[in-house]
A and B are shown apart, each in its own frame.
Chain A
Amino acid sequence: MTSKTAMRILMAIVALIFLFSWIIKSGSGVSDSTFTNVRDGFLITFAVFLTLSIFSFLYHDNPFYKFAESLYVGISAGYWMCYGFWSTVVGNFVPRASRSLSEFFHVPYQERADHILIYIPIIFGLILLTRLLPRIGWLSRWSLAFIIGTTAGLNLTRYLRSDFISQVSNSFIPLFVDWKGAGDFINHISLAADGQFIAILSNWVIFVGVMCGLVYFFFSKEHKGTFGVASRIGIWILMITFGASFGYTVMGRISLLVGRITFLFGDWLNIL
């Protein structure tokens, strides 16, 4: 048997399984309307097909995976474009541009003096599309320059304030939280998450972690002696951070797997 024939047989089997599933799911629908039951049955079966097609990549690359992947990319692009039109063009432009257009799209018309300003982004948006015409494609650079310049300007100030100045400020933390003497500290020592001991420990970890992390990235002095020890602690802190990130990533991926398996067992097979 050639691989082409084997693939055709496999596709026929898959099609039969999902046709059977569609019939079963349509028959077990809860709605009074037959159309709704048949539609819901198809949607669930198709979602199952796509889920299993994506999972099949774990075995190896195959046409089912390619189909699901291409469908996802295409639909996502179309979805975002439609939403952009309805939320930005209809949502923001139409209510300020024309009363008749507003009535046509059923959005409230806004009478304001600054309406003329909305034509500036409209012009920039339209010349961005000139990329589709090679002869005047250079015009789109004006829009791109505006986007890049505005984004860079906005981000520079915000990142400088929130990610740099505020973060430096946040690093100035008390190393002895609510300190009332060693006797009081020992008498009330507890491992509670909101207790004094854990608060002091956390602040020390942040203080030592920040200082040693900075030392590790200081390359103007050889990492030897006390400086070398601090640098070694710095790299340990970085490794622990990467480990925590990896742990969180695993948790995220497992959550997605749980979501899909719950869908397969619950919505499709009804065994949960």
Chain B
Amino acid sequence: MGLIISIIVIGGGLLWILYLSIKGRDVDRRIVYLFVGTTVALAIIFRLEFGEVATPIVKSVFDKIENLPAGSKIVLSYDFDPAMAPEVNPMANAFIRHILEKKHRLYFMSLWATGQSLLSVSLDSVLKPEFPDAKYGVDYCNLGFKAGNEGVLNVVITNLRKMFPSDANGNSLDSLPMFKDVESLKDMDLLISIGGGKPGVKEWVLFAGDPGKVAMAGGSAAVSTPLLYPYWPKQLIGLLGGTKGAAEYEAELIKRYPRFKDKSMPALRMMGPQTMAHVVIIAFIVIGNIAYFRSRKKGEQS
């Protein structure tokens, strides 16, 4: 029902704009904004959802985490800010669920100061309520934020304690059992950076994954994803690009672990509005071209 109402409203509006364009009348840019906003709002209100299947670039990350032996050491770096959060936070939450479900050890850190606050939201809303048995310092820990961008990575790839003498809560790393056999990032089994700016996935590949010869995966905001594709599959074992990548990962997680079906999967929910908005934008491009060719034809005739 929601889909039908959305199609009627959006389709009617598009036809009206097409009519205006063919008549040679200008369509104000604010109408375009309003139209995209309405489309997204309708898709959210009516909860339009479309199925997702993991593509190889996403599935390779999933399979890597899936096939690591229990107790493997995985770093998850929150390198993003609230502006990127709607698209990359779902990836981070999906990674947390998958990693802890597989009983791996999870090391949180951040190269962005804002990542720390967003991490605490993930800890409070996902990790603690869904994995109450996970013990701090044994199953997971939070190293916190460290200023210095790629300089931080350049140090921690050889000596973690030099940059992080203590965790985010002020505990000495030596007092936490999960750091017993960890000297540097080279001792990790997988590094995952989630971000979309600088420092982000690219810096992790350049300053940690490549020099340390450690398996590296990434999750990035859509804007920076095309720049990261060349690193796949050798320098990055896989990459989650924007909301689409996050939705694919969530779909694979639900497929493999149905117990997460009832949990919040925001990326899958976002793909409905995404799809509708893309259809509208494509329609605008087509309408714009029709109007352009008509005006050109009229110009030639006169």
Contacts and interface: CB of A to CB of B under 8 A. Distances in A.
Interface residues of B, number: 58
Interface string A143-169: 000000011001100110111001101
Interface string B129-157: 00000000000000011111011001000
Contacts, number: 146
Contact of A163 (B154, B206, B281): B206
A261 B171 contact: no
A258 B274 contact: yes
Interface of B: 30, 33, 36-37, 40-41, 44-45, 55-56, 83, 85-87, 113-114, 116, 144-148, 150-151, 154, 163-166, 170-172, 175, 196, 205-207, 210-211, 221-223, 225-226, 230, 234-235, 241-244, 266, 270, 273-274, 277-278, 281
B193 to A, nearest CB: 14
A151 B40 CA distance: 43
29 contacts: A88-B146, A88-B147, A91-B164, A91-B165, A95-B166, A108-B165, A155-B150, A158-B207, A158-B210, A161-B211, A166-B210, A167-B230, A170-B230, A244-B226, A248-B226, A249-B222, A252-B87, A252-B196, A254-B36, A255-B86, A255-B222, A255-B270, A256-B87, A257-B273, A258-B243, A259-B87, A261-B41, A262-B44, A265-B41
Contacts of A107: 165-166, 170
Interface residues of A, number: 51
A251 interface: yes
**Secondary structure type dominating chain B contacts:** helix
Contacts of A96: 165
A159 B211 CA distance: 11
Contacts of A262: 44, 86, 266
Contact of A87 (B30, B45, B144, B207): B144
A254 B83 CA distance: 12
Contacts of B235: 162, 166, 170
A265 B172 contact: no
B241 A271 contact: no
Which A-B residue pairs are the 7 nearest by beta carbons? A259-B86, A252-B222, A83-B113, A255-B87, A108-B172, A248-B222, A251-B222
Most buried by A among B41, B165, B221: B165
B243 A255 contact: yes
Contacts of A100: none
B302 to A, nearest CB: 32
A235 to B, nearest CB: 17
A118 B37 CA distance: 53
A31 interface: no
